[in-house]
Amino acid sequence: MSNASASIINQPLSKQPLSEQQKSILLAATQKIAPSWPLDQMIAVNPFWQMREQRIEQVAANLGVLGSVHLQMPKQYYLNLYQSGAISQAALQQASVELASDLSAQQLTAFLTQQDESVHWHNIADLLDSQRDPHKMAWRDEIIHQISQFCAAHYQELEPLLRRGDTSKQLDLYRHWLDVTRCNKGLSIVMDEPGLHQFFAQLPDTHEALLAEAIEAFSLDNDTLAAYSHALLLDVNGWASWVAYLRWQGDLNQQPNDEMHQLLAIRMAWDLVIWRYLKAQLPIHFAQLNVSWQREKAQLSSMVQAYQQMQRPIWVWVKAAELSYQHQLNQQLQNAIPQPVVAPELQAVFCIDVRSEVMRRALESQHENIQTFGFAGFFGLPLEYQPSPSELTRPQLPGLLKPVIRVTERSDNKGEKAKLNLRARWQSWSQGAPSAFSMVESTGWLYSLKMLKQSFFAKGEANPVNRLSHQGDWEMSAQGEALSIADKTSLAKGVLHGIGLTSFAPKVLLVGHGSHSANNLHAAGLDCGACGGQTGEVNVRVLAQLLNDQEVRQNLVSQGVVIPEGTRFVAALHNTTTDHIDCFTPSLSDAVSNWLKEATTAAQRERAPLLDTSLENATDEQLDKALIKRSQDWSQVRPEWGLANNAAFIVAPRSWTRQVNLHGRAFLHDYQYQQDPGFAVLELILTAPMVVTNWINTQYNASVTDNSKYGSGNKVLHNAVGGHIGVFEGNGGDLRIGLSMQSVHNGEKWMHQPQRLAVYVAAPREPIEQISAKHDNVRHLINNEWLYLLRWDESGVIERFYQGQWLPQ
């Protein structure tokens, strides 16, 4: 080590602590990252949720500058839509007016053919990479790789990698990283920078001290500190999203767990090490770096303003594409003739998931007296499921909520339950990062036999908990105490009121849903998001038992709810990959069984061209076999399209939309405001299902507009991290979040058109205004244009609610 470097390392370090204002700024920066749920509980998340209090254009500008993130499609995409007529002239004109654009249609079209300027912020590592010897490892690449590999090891608790025998004494995130990194002399070799590893020795032992030292060394004022901190977290956005998930769960369970400051300190420590290394070893290069850094900080504010100004015309095109869809949908809705079912012979309650829209139409087309309903997929049951006597539990409700009821079974599933731990251990090894390849190599010919078996005798894989027979009676408890009949009655009444069930057919199907695929790390993402990334089987079985309980029914009578003695609730599951509906009871009439079978065929026929054009001319039997085979094929990267191309959320009586083909693009939630005198149900819909549909819609949008940051890339290259934490694309880089390319693109075109959700609500103006004023989340989503909220009334009038005003459409 040179004398210069030794003097830098040994010089007294500043002990100036973080000021209260700096702490506040850092806290705000660390709260800008949205959580990402683990693979076995995968649900869709709006990756911009933590910034919903800002306008979408401002968020796009900030992220565009700080992380080169894209919230819109490339210009050519909108030009193609316009030239094909998918963006109408009327929609373009309306978008121009709403966004106060002074550009003509010709100027807007010319804008789409112009080259974009490069306007984005550079962290210290980026500034060095722009002039770095191309034969050397890029600073950014090594930093992300090193932090990511460490986080994978830390959160997997792989003792050989952690160098610790007693994980109960494991250090906190920053301290553990520092301990491991200080021992890694290979960093100097990898980066071809002699003595680099020695500069990690002088980093402070606490993350607070590190942040304080870096702020002083980089001369960060408050504005720059906020932006710089956010930019650093965007460098490791995948792991930041995992840490945000741990924070979310900690807050949900009143057990604070926020390591985001420590992750930020780890990323900032790398910049500080580089800074000090260059200052000691390469003073000429350091002088150049310092000049570039000072210029970068000085230009930050103007960068964001320039980016936002540059993006103004593209937002006109974004809105024009969205309005073009809305104009067509408005016409369909206004021209529809309500078709109520007066004497239902069969009722079926489905999840609001867009895939059920196709199945509901198919089922309703079998008979005029078949009535379907749309309701949140967890059926209003705030459950967690525990296979007794196992200690394993899993949530069966949206990630926004905390379970308050635990359900177990009285039946004997000991044989299956005994296998859960063994299977879990096998999966932990076979899916650990980066063990997907190493496991095959280690098991050798044994694993090759398994692969051959999967090829010729395909069999879908699912969460091992789903393999339990679920044949027994369900026990429901809260805080260790069994629910009383009064509790069950109250729960049942709330569910029926929320669904809108006031009259009852002889058979009422409660239809949960789940997917079926093989060799799919993101399989849970195709199951029910409302059920915490699980199938809805447990929820519908529990609810069917609850509503069939004679004692509960007797108590409901005294509360004004009369369920006829002949009515039977039947639990069922919709397999969204094959469109089969399996009922968990044999007591169905031939008519009902035939209706379900024919509905399956109709739904399969509608979806077939989107999955495989060769299936269009197949017979019904051939099509059914092909879809079943597809669901069991371990090499199939597109078992189904999930919720791709979702675009609308309609909160209205089903009779209003029964004759409308919504092409599997709309979430449908039944609602009749006349049955909701206090508008409590409407308030629940706008604060929960509307938020969930926004999360789904925005995840799909972001996975298309910027798959490199908010999508997970090529699923063929995926390796699981920690069995369930997430995936790497290959064996390194940042943790990947969001959807794979194969989930949104068929190899030739996008299967999801990114556009903000259009929410249609059939309710009076006043309650909508009051609910928006009462709830910040609702108001932010509407006023900051994260979605469109439209009101649709009986006369066919559709108007938009925005900034407290009602705008004609």
Both tokens of 465, joined, read 């908990």
Whole-angstrom distance, CA of residue 532 vs CA of residue 43: 6
Whole-angstrom distance, CA of residue 497 vs CA of residue 493: 6
Q: Look over the chain and give the mean of its residue pLDDT values, rounded to a whole number.
A: 90
Confidence of residue 156 (pLDDT cuts 50, 70, 90): confident
Confidence of residue 137 (pLDDT cuts 50, 70, 90): very high
The count of C-alpha atoms lying within 13 angstroms of the C-alpha of 305, restricted to the half-sphere facing its C-beta, is 4
pLDDT at 1: 45
Do the beta carbons of residue 282 and residue 36 sit within 8 Å?
no
Please give the share of the chain, as a percent, with pLDDT higher than 70: 89
Q: Is the pLDDT of residue 72 over 60?
A: yes
Query: Nearest 5°: CA angle at 541, between 536 and 545?
Result: 150
pLDDT at 723: 84
Rounded to whole angstroms, what are the CA distances from 714 to 36, 389, 427, 707, 739? 18, 40, 22, 10, 9
Tell me: do 75 and 151 sit in the same domain: no
Q: Is the pLDDT of residue 416 over 90?
A: no
Instruction: Please tell me what DSSP assigns to residue 313.
Output: H
Q: Is the pLDDT of residue 297 over 80?
A: yes
3-class SS at 536?
Answer: coil
Q: Which helix (H) or strand (E) holds 222?
A: helix 222-235
Q: Does residue 787 fall inside a structural domain?
A: no
Q: What is the pLDDT of residues 341-352, one digit of tens each?
A: 999 999 999 999
3-class SS at 217?
Answer: helix
Chain centroid to Cα 706, Å, comes to 14
The count of C-alpha atoms lying within 13 angstroms of the C-alpha of 479, restricted to the half-sphere facing its C-beta, is 1
pLDDT average, residue stretch 479-500: 96
Q: Is the pLDDT of residue 424 over 70?
A: no
Burial zone of 697 (CB within 10 Å; 0-12 exposed, 13-18 middle, 19+ buried):
buried
Tell me: do 72 and 193 sit in the same domain: no
- Binding-site residues for Zn(2+) sit at 351, 353, 513, 528
Q: Are strands 580-583 and 648-651 parallel, antiparallel or unpaired?
A: unpaired
Whole-angstrom distance, CA of residue 209 vs CA of residue 15: 8
Q: Is the pLDDT of residue 434 over 50?
A: no
Q: Does residue 374 fall inside a structural domain?
A: yes
Q: Is the pLDDT of residue 428 over 50?
A: no
Q: What is the pLDDT of residues 239-257, one digit of tens each?
A: 999 999 999 999 998 888 8
pLDDT average, residue stretch 643-669: 98
Query: Nearest 5°: CA angle at 478, between 474 and 479?
Result: 135
Most confident of 124-133, 412-421, 629-638, 680-689: 680-689
Tell me: do 598 and 466 sit in the same domain: yes
For 461-500, the three-class secondary structure string (H helix, E strand, C coil) is ECCHHHHCCCCCCEEEEECCEECCHHHHHHHHHHHHHHHC
Biggest CA pair distance of the chain: 92
Task: Give the residue from 502, 506, 531 showing the smallest Cα distance to 379.
Answer: 531
Q: Does residue 580 fall inside a structural domain?
A: yes
Count of domains forming the chain: 3
Could you tell me how many residues make up the chain?
809
Whole-angstrom distance, CA of residue 7 vs CA of residue 543: 71
**Alpha-helical regions (H) of 500-619:** 537-548, 550-557, 590-611
Whole-angstrom distance, CA of residue 188 vs CA of residue 194: 5
Tell me: do 666 and 570 sit in the same domain: yes
pLDDT at 131: 87
Q: Does residue 775 fall inside a structural domain?
A: no
Tell me: do 96 and 128 sit in the same domain: no
Whole-angstrom distance, CA of residue 58 vs CA of residue 308: 7
pLDDT at 171: 73
Q: What is the pLDDT of residues 688-741, one digit of tens each?
A: 999 999 999 999 999 999 999 999 999 999 999 988 899 999 988 999 999 999
Q: Does residue 769 fall inside a structural domain?
A: no
Confidence of residue 169 (pLDDT cuts 50, 70, 90): low
Instruction: Please tell me what DSSP assigns to residue 648.
Output: E
pLDDT at 586: 78
pLDDT at 257: 83
pLDDT at 118: 84
Tell me: do 92 and 140 sit in the same domain: no
pLDDT at 495: 97
pLDDT average, residue stretch 596-606: 97
- Contacts of residue 69, defined as CB under 8 A and 6 or more positions apart, other chains included, come to 60, 63, 234, 706, 709, 710
Residue identified by tokens 């080590």 is: 1
For residue 144, the one-letter residue type is I
Tell me: do 260 and 355 sit in the same domain: no
Burial zone of 134 (CB within 10 Å; 0-12 exposed, 13-18 middle, 19+ buried):
exposed
- Compute the radius of gyration of the chain from its Cα atoms: 28
Whole-angstrom distance, CA of residue 66 vs CA of residue 465: 42
Confidence of residue 423 (pLDDT cuts 50, 70, 90): very low
Tell me: do 195 and 54 sit in the same domain: yes
Chain centroid to Cα 146, Å, comes to 26
Tell me: do 431 and 466 sit in the same domain: yes
Query: Nearest 5°: CA angle at 106, between 103 and 108?
Result: 50
Do the beta carbons of residue 2 and residue 281 sit within 8 Å?
yes
Q: Does residue 254 fall inside a structural domain?
A: yes
Torsion of CA 779, 781, 784, 788, to 10 degrees: -110
Tell me: do 557 and 502 sit in the same domain: yes
Q: Is the pLDDT of residue 159 over 80?
A: no
Q: What sign does the CA torsion over 429, 432, 433, 439 have?
A: positive
Instruction: Please tell me what DSSP assigns to residue 115.
Output: P
Q: Are strands 726-729 and 648-651 parallel, antiparallel or unpaired?
A: unpaired
Whole-angstrom distance, CA of residue 248 vs CA of residue 243: 9
- Binding-site residues sit at 351, 353, 513, 528
Q: Residue 728 is part of which domain span? A: 346-763
Task: Give the residue from 534, 522, 525 showing the smallest Cα distance to 720.
Answer: 522
Whole-angstrom distance, CA of residue 9 vs CA of residue 199: 7
Q: Is the pLDDT of residue 390 over 90?
A: no
Mean pLDDT lowest among 3-17, 31-45, 358-372, 554-568: 3-17
Q: Which helix (H) or strand (E) holds 149?
A: helix 139-156
Q: Does residue 807 fall inside a structural domain?
A: no
pLDDT average, residue stretch 388-403: 86
373: β partners:
349
pLDDT at 472: 62
Tell me: do 62 and 78 sit in the same domain: no
pLDDT average, residue stretch 159-181: 68
Whole-angstrom distance, CA of residue 54 vs CA of residue 35: 18
Tell me: do 180 and 85 sit in the same domain: no
3-class SS at 408?
Answer: strand
Q: Higher-confidence residue: 365 or 434?
A: 365
Whole-angstrom distance, CA of residue 512 vs CA of residue 509: 9
- Contacts of residue 803, defined as CB under 8 A and 6 or more positions apart, other chains included, come to 783
Chain centroid to Cα 181, Å, comes to 33
The packing angle between helices 680-687 and 689-705, to 10°, is 20
Q: Does residue 29 fall inside a structural domain?
A: yes
pLDDT average, residue stretch 423-428: 38
Confidence of residue 24 (pLDDT cuts 50, 70, 90): very high
